[in-house]
A and B are shown apart, each in its own frame.
Chain A
């Protein structure tokens, strides 16, 4: 049999991404749609419910930087959605790739290399997070107090915030033999961040000892960025600071993924 002529037309990482899209679309159609509903529930429940309560008390909007509660909370939900989508997509699907469906094993028997698997998954995480965040942004665009062109850079900033969680979770998942720890990560890291990361109230309302903790978490930077670009206003320097912080953490997570995926796929 003559040698197969391999046409190098599509980069390997894109082909890994493509496979992920096909698989996920097939297997998790329903849950993907459901996950987009979750931020809407928060926006409706907290934004209108708690919002009505908060906005009635005149002092509150000052604490919220002069914003109504919906304008305060809404943009932050882009960052929290990014975080939650990321932690899901980088946990179970990664375990699936290594252990359950073992698609990564199938891929690396072909010219696809472990680094292509990481790059393809990173692309997948980014696109999946962006999709979730866009869903929230579209809803915010429909609400007069949160509408604005700032939603576009805010959605991208929130996606970068999500990538911090995706690469970290992906690296962790790639070293695990079972999904047992994922629920604990959700319970002890993601939910506390969700509650204390400045999405629902300003971090300044926290006891002063807790504030620095909030400041180092990536979520807080994502929340500040999304909110700043959309409703509360932000200086160029501050925006760059948040972006840089998130970019550095993403880069670290990505490098660790490269190492852990390579290690696991070349045993």
Chain B
């Protein structure tokens, strides 16, 4: 039995359709990702899974329960890390966790024990009795994660957990999420960072404008929708319009972006040699492996982060 099962799930806000019929399943113990740009419908979907926003149409089941009927029961087994922190800035770290634990009707003493343990887990034990307000963004995110674990959830929902964090803070957070996966927690995460999805997720769906445009493992999606390597070229601003046509024979596919040209090829270095042979002299060139960014570009014709 999947932890989350969605069949043709829609969400509308008046005229606007935020989620336009999505189907997916998340298995127990899986780290599942929803990758897409802002406005793809990821957060709306998360709020439906979190049983706070009712499904407009379609069928959604979590722990094989119906959110409309058993919302409270589902929420008692789930942890939520919202996109924007809603910690109580005036209270201490410990007080925040205890207060949140009380919402689950966990006895006060038990709340305090769990809170101490979880502050240890997110490496904030030394700040237990200081106020939340002066913490850095990364620390607040970690505290929010600790808070979401107060009820020892089977399923953890993370809505863009690392948006706005510096690389160092992101890595600390990723490492903690790995640990949770090791402990058997099922994780569902939304992100618009392709590296995050690639690093963390066992499986993911790529979302665009309320729809799922692809589904698979990060590696599988890249293999399926892109070439092994990509040659990135930076050309003069006076690049002739026919550049795509001229480069076409070199790679399997060419994408002309406002600031660069991408040549999709199995062997990037060989492709670069061919570019030189054609008499095209790029200002700069870079050969890299294909990423989910390329998958997204392929599927939607747009970049993830704009």
On A, residues with C-beta under 8 Å from B are: 1-4, 6-10, 12, 15-16, 18-19, 22-23, 26-27, 101-103, 105-113, 265-267
* Chain B residues closer than 8 Å to A109, beta-carbon distance: 50, 52, 75, 80, 82
* Chain B residues closer than 8 Å to A12, beta-carbon distance: 103, 105
Q: Which of B190-207 contact A (CB under 8 A)?
A: none
Please name 26 pairs of A and B residues whose Cβ atoms are closer than 8 Å in the assembled complex, sorted by A.
Answer: A1-B152, A1-B183, A1-B185, A3-B154, A4-B104, A4-B151, A6-B105, A7-B106, A9-B105, A15-B103, A19-B103, A22-B95, A23-B88, A26-B91, A101-B89, A105-B82, A109-B50, A109-B82, A110-B104, A111-B75, A111-B76, A111-B103, A111-B104, A111-B105, A112-B72, A112-B103
Instruction: Check if A23 sits within 8 Å of B91, measured CB to CB.
Output: yes
* A168 and B13 alpha carbons, distance in the complex (Å): 27
Query: What is the total of A-B residue contacts with beta carbons within 8 Å?
Result: 91
Instruction: Check if A266 sits within 8 Å of B53, measured CB to CB.
Output: yes
On B, residues with C-beta under 8 Å from A are: 13, 50, 52-54, 71-73, 75-77, 80, 82, 84, 86-91, 95, 99-100, 102-107, 151-154, 183-185
* A267 and B18 alpha carbons, distance in the complex (Å): 12
* A67 and B100 alpha carbons, distance in the complex (Å): 52
Of the candidates B95, B107, B184, the one whose C-beta lies within 8 Å of that of A7 is B107
Q: Is the interface of A mostly helix, strand, loop or mixed?
A: loop
Instruction: Check if B104 sits within 8 Å of A265, measured CB to CB.
Output: no
**Cβ distance A3 to chain B, nearest Cβ, rounded Å:** 6
* A8 and B107 alpha carbons, distance in the complex (Å): 10
On whether A267 and B53 interact (CB within 8 A), knowing A3-B77, A110-B100, A111-B76, the answer reads yes
* A190 and B286 alpha carbons, distance in the complex (Å): 69
* Chain B residues closer than 8 Å to A106, beta-carbon distance: 82, 86-87, 100, 103
**Cβ distance A130 to chain B, nearest Cβ, rounded Å:** 23
* A108 and B153 alpha carbons, distance in the complex (Å): 16
Of the candidates A2, A4, A103, A107, the one whose C-beta lies within 8 Å of that of B76 is A4
Closest A residue by C-beta to B110? A7
* Chain B residues closer than 8 Å to A103, beta-carbon distance: 86, 88
Instruction: Check if B103 sits within 8 Å of A107, measured CB to CB.
Output: yes
* A15 and B100 alpha carbons, distance in the complex (Å): 10
Closest B residue by C-beta to A114? B52
Instruction: Check if A15 sits within 8 Å of B105, measured CB to CB.
Output: yes
**Cβ distance B215 to chain A, nearest Cβ, rounded Å:** 26
Name, among B50, B73, B102, the residue most crowded by chain A CB atoms within 10 Å (CB to CB): B102
Instruction: Check if B71 sits within 8 Å of A113, measured CB to CB.
Output: yes
Instruction: Check if B154 sits within 8 Å of A267, measured CB to CB.
Output: no
Name, among B72, B95, B106, B107, the residue most crowded by chain A CB atoms within 10 Å (CB to CB): B72
* Chain B residues closer than 8 Å to A113, beta-carbon distance: 71-72
**Cβ distance A100 to chain B, nearest Cβ, rounded Å:** 10
* A139 and B91 alpha carbons, distance in the complex (Å): 33
Instruction: Check if A15 sits within 8 Å of B154, measured CB to CB.
Output: no
